């Protein structure tokens, strides 16, 4: 590996999947202003994810619709009249 190109400021961070509420603790350099209290009683920075391996259809084997802005309903309303 090249020297001097990798960050030195790794720290423990909690990642939270917002589509299903799954959380996990990992090391990262991601910047965040929010914090959360973890199961061990310590407080860690919180990074919110829209999708992770626990909710992505490729990893779960389920076809799940993640609709955060009502786009699917909007599409169905628009084209319901033509069908």
69: confidence class by pLDDT, cuts 50, 70, 90? low
Percent of the chain with pLDDT over 70: 80
Whether residue 34 is predicted with pLDDT greater than 80 in this model: the reply is yes
Residue 11 neighbours by CB under 8 Å, 6+ apart: 27, 28, 29, 45
30-55: average pLDDT: 90
Compute the mean pLDDT over every residue in the chain, rounded to the nearest whole number: 82
The whole-angstrom separation of Cα 48 and Cα 67 is: 16
Q: What mean pLDDT is predicted for residues 16-38?
A: 91
pLDDT at 19 (0 to 100): 82
């Amino acid at each position: 590996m090249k020297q001097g190109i990798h960050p030195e400021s790794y720290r423990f961070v909690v990642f939270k999947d917002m589509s299903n509420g799954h959380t996990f603790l990992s090391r990262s350099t991601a910047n965040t202003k929010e914090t959360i209290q973890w199961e061990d009683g310590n407080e860690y920075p919180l990074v919110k994810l829209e999708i992770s391996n626990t909710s992505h259809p490729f990893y779960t084997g389920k076809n799940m619709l993640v609709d955060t802005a009502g786009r699917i309903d909007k599409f169905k309303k628009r084209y319901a009249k033509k069908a």
